[in-house]
Structure 1
């Protein structure tokens, strides 16, 4: 880790507001009280129970340590897979609509965007919501088709009407493995609703271009690949 990254991490650990400082003092006070009560309990404990306590604590620590290592291993492996993620369009075409939404989430994560899948009934025209390293909120509506269908203008209207007011979007995008009608594309361009059709999806998913590159967005100041 570079010196700049270490300094940034230290700054993130320090309280940034008066509320955070008060919360930190309260937490430290509660922790101190708990430690004092634990010390009193141990002083009054039968000494013959100490070996049992040590063995139990050791076993618990070993179990917790094993789980922690396993979780970190899983997270690192997922991060490595995402960094290498490429999705040929014939694989995208074979996905279900739900799988397509998850694939869009993973592609955003590959590009350094913190993304979550929110698609469900009543999702108000949002299937994936992400935040890039500059703090911009990206809301994606996903339209999967098996037959090269085209997305119409009504989808663009829906996204435009909910992306910012409901989901707080800075960037709204509709993505499909099919196409868009001419009216949908031109309306989106005029009203700030980005669109990713089959060819743009090929560049993003198959060729490895970042979402920012595909949409023509400014690259975040962090300089992370794609985000």
Structure 2
């Protein structure tokens, strides 16, 4: 087996002098490198300063643009009004996005979650006082009706799956009498065409329209720990 290279102490005056010379040469080269680098930096400082200034200005511009964009969005949402005629022309996805925007207008931090496996939630909003709301959107043709089965589905998932304090079914159509009665009995709120107009077109806040409590009235809606 071959042996690896190992450093050993210099032996004798000649080896000591040679090692000292090598060390001195290395130190001189390192000092020259530092000197050259420092000189180059000194010579290039105007360019480096200009690059740093440009980078800072670009970062500030991006931040300012993002802030202005958020302000414009807040102003747009604060004045958001959507007519029933506009709702009727939407597809399911746009309907869900519109309801999310209306929640944001009313002070909720909301997001759209509709899609495959949404577990009866198309939009979820959080409010510092009112808690969490789950919205199940049912876009129908004009005159279409939503039945009790939708209420059952929302009841079964809003609390256990989404830890919601409030559950709401929203449609641009109508709800059957059984659906409204069942929802009222089991704390599943509903927004039909008439309430949707008051919320979206007239500008009423959803929590005021539905008289949502600051604390859940039913243990079923309490969030899991």
Which of the pair has more CA radius of gyration? 2
Moved >3 Å (runs of 4+): 42-45
Deviations 1:83-107 (A, max 9, x none): 1111111111111110000000010
Gaps of 5+ in 2: 1-36, 216-225
Aligned length: 179
SS in 1 for 2:167: strand
Return the offset for 1:44: 9.9
Name which of 88, 98, 102 aligns with 1:103: 98
Farther off after superposition, 145-154 or 164-173: 145-154
Name which of 81, 98, 103 aligns with 1:86: 81
CA change 1:135–1:53 in 2 (3 A) is: farther
1:71 and 2:66 equivalent?
Answer: yes
Deviations 1:6-47 (A, max 9, x none): xxxxxxxxxxxxxxxxxxxxxxxxxxxxxxxxxxxx989832
CA change 1:44–1:121 in 2 (3 A) is: farther
Return the offset for 1:219: 6.6
Q: Measure the CA separation in 2 of the matches of 1:89 and 1:178.
A: 10
Gaps of 5+ in 1: 1-41, 221-227
- Residue of structure 2 equivalent to 1:183: 178
- Residue of structure 2 equivalent to 1:131: 126
Farther off after superposition, 48-57 or 140-149: 48-57
- Residue of structure 1 equivalent to 2:149: 154
Instruction: State the TM-score, normalizing by the size of structure 1.
Output: 0.75
Instruction: State the TM-score, normalizing by the size of structure 2.
Output: 0.75
- Measured on the aligned residues, the alpha-carbon RMSD in Å equals 1.9
Deviations 1:197-223 (A, max 9, x none): 001101100111000111112479xxx
Q: Measure the CA separation in 1 of the matches of 2:79 and 2:189.
A: 25
CA change 1:47–1:135 in 2 (3 A) is: farther
Name which of 185, 196, 204 aligns with 1:201: 196
